[in-house]
């Protein structure tokens, strides 16, 4: 492993307890001063996750919707919608930032991911842009920690395995070249989603395609 630019630790849950507090709903994580450029993968409720910013898998109107989008708006309170109305929407693959209001997070970064149309309409690049735009906006606003949901894998129909591969590769590439962010966490809705992201991270590591540190935590 010393010969590689990355160090991704695939640890058993019992080993991880020394590094992370258990994420069971409060959404807290404690890295114990474990260094920079880390990726975490957990199962839980992103609206309860404590980070400088959480990412909303929004629609282009930024006026709320179903799934993660609706859950974030409900948890943040009506002030979030009021601010979103001033933003003039957002193009697919781009991102805009608001306050977090009643959420534990200081900021919400809203990014519309692509609708899956068979894979021949630039969906993977648009999805990568959603992650990249969100990470850039977080760094520009002095965020050190950011949490993502699985963008576009719900009603937008993006195949989960392909979306996970795009996400972890884009995040790792960003952290390789930009060290302003300290920690990025994928907060997965269910066990199936968490496993897909863990598998994508493991595959990226095996291919020596990641220069960041990554840790995988239990729910």
Catalytic site positions: 69
Q: Concatenate the DSSP letters of all residues of 81-97 into one string.
A: HHHHTTTT---TT--EE
Query: Taking a C-beta distance cutoff of 8 angstroms, is the pair 199, 8 a contact?
Result: no
Helix (H, G, I), strand (E, B) or coil at 165: helix
C-alpha dihedral, 31 to 36 to 38 to 43, nearest 10°: 30
C-alpha dihedral, 215 to 8 to 205 to 51, nearest 10°: 40
């Amino acid at each position: 492993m010393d010969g590689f630019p990355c160090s991704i630790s695939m640890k058993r849950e019992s080993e991880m307890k020394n590094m992370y507090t258990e994420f069971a709903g409060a959404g807290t994580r404690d890295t114990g001063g474990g260094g920079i450029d880390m990726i975490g993968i957990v199962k839980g409720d992103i609206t309860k996750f404590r980070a400088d910013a959480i990412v909303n898998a929004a629609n282009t109107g930024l006026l709320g919707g179903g799934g993660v989008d609706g859950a974030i708006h409900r948890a943040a309170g009506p002030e979030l919608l009021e601010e979103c109305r001033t933003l003039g929407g957002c193009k697919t693959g781009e991102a805009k930032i608001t306050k977090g209001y009643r959420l534990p997070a200081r900021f919400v970064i809203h990014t519309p991911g692509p609708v899956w149309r068979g894979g021949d309409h630039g969906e993977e690049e648009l999805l990568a842009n959603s992650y990249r735009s969100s990470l850039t906006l977080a760094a520009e606003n002095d965020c050190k920690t950011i949490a993502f949901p699985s963008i576009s894998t719900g009603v937008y129909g993006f195949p989960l395995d392909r979306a996970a591969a795009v996400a972890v590769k884009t995040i790792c590439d960003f952290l390789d070249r930009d060290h302003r962010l300290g920690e990025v966490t994928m907060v997965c809705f269910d066990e199936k989603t968490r496993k897909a992201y863990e598998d994508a991270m493991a595959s990226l590591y095996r291919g020596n395609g990641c220069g960041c540190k990554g840790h995988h935590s239990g729910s």
